[in-house]
Structure 1
């Protein structure tokens, strides 16, 4: 998918997928020279989409690391963000937390039904996690599945409901509950990275009990 993007946008996708990175690895991902990568990044920086900062690791010289700005993050849309936040605030103000939780619970039940209807009732945990990742990718979460030892990682590089999740973290808790319901009682799921807490992605470690 990245290789089919306009050249000047590929660096944005790489930083979204990989998180903050130094210049040389970015050049490697872009398959261009270091100078070519620097040119692209400086152009994006002039547009306010990326920024470079110095990071000190150990006793070595500070390393320049590139990352997306808030404007750069906005290139990966948060679906109907402003309207969603206003509706959450109005529901909380007019109807109370109980009503808001009822809405969140309804959203979770709808997701559970959708995922269960798409995931095979039989099959390995790996197959189920990969299928769940495909469903989440289709919903805009830029999700992938990876194996990590005896566990699997469900990694989401983007959150299309981030504004809603910031306004009400019940949505994040609801998603975790939905994953546990869909994958079954014989599975342990732990969130190990969280965009809301400043990580560049959300990630869930999934293991068989």
Structure 2
């Protein structure tokens, strides 16, 4: 979980985050490495000995849920075969509309942008996205450390476009949401910059 949510880490950093000894972490990494779930590389930060940095392998990432992946991909293929791309687009639109209604209901009473983002993180985490919110200067970073529909998104990029549009709609016209990191392009997570729209942009 630490490697999934925080990315590649050294034994010392993992030990501090988990409040255990470095030796306990080394033993755990050895077991996970033997199972093919983690790997490591040496990184140099100037003088001194290189630091061993551990990260999840593809098999390690696969241990986190990908909701009904095989069946979902098969269903997308069937819809595409029977109804064409228009049918797939319609499926995505219906899904987006249903999620928009559900998310807006969850945000009822959250008047600030921070409050709405916190509610959104709660909802998305419950759906398996392992979402978190961070402040970044005047902006917010909305981070999803896992994608439970990754297989479906690979089969149809429309799901990713739809979710970005969904975030923009549910957070309101006064903000702009931009994707900065994307799991499908090789990033370890999806990250969205959320900023308030300036006067020029509104006009």
Q: Does 1:32 align with 2:25?
A: no
Q: Which residue of 2 aligns with 1:150?
A: 138
Per the normalisation by structure 2, the TM-score is 0.91
Q: Does 1:94 align with 2:82?
A: yes
**1:125 and 2:113 matched:** yes
The worse-fitting range, judged by mean Cα deviation, of 25-34 and 183-192 is: 25-34
- In 2: Cα distance, 1:135 partner to 1:95 partner: 31
Distance 1:182 1:83, change over 3 A: same
Bigger mean CA offset, 58-67 vs 112-121: 58-67
Unmatched runs of 5 consecutive residues or more in structure 1: 1-12
The CA deviation string for residues 155-204 of structure 1, in whole angstroms up to 9 with x for no partner, is 11111101111111110110000111111111111111111111111111
SS of residue paired to 1:205: strand
Deviation at 1:120, TM superposition (A): 2.4
- Which segment is superposed worse, 48-57 or 168-177? 48-57
Q: Describe the shift of the 1:119–1:55 C-alpha distance in structure 2 as closer, same or farther (beyond 3 A).
A: same
Deviation at 1:64, TM superposition (A): 2.0
Q: CA deviation at 1:63?
A: 3.3
Q: Which residue of 2 aligns with 1:159?
A: 147
RMSD: 1.6
Map of 2:70 onto structure 1: 82
**Superposition deviation, residue 21 in structure 1:** 1.2
Write the deviation string for residues 10-51 of structure 1: whole angstroms up to 9, x where unpaired.
xxx100110111221112112222222111100111111111
1:114 to 86, 102, 113: 102
* Stretches (4+) displaced over 3 A: 55-63
Q: How many matched pairs?
A: 197
Deviation at 1:53, TM superposition (A): 2.1
The answer to whether the aligner puts 1:53 opposite 2:41 as a matched pair is yes
Cα 1:58–1:197 change in 2 (3 A) is: farther
Which residue pairs with 1:201 in the alignment? 189
Residue 59 of structure 1: how far off its partner (Å): 7.3
Give the C-alpha shift of residue 146 in structure 1: 1.6
Segment drifting more, 124-133 vs 25-34: 25-34
Matching residue within 7, 15, 22 for 2:10: 22
> What CA deviation, in whole Å up to 9, does each residue of 1:67-118 have, x standing for no partner?
1112211211100001111111222223211110110111111110101111
Distance in 1 separating the partners of 2:73 and 2:90: 16
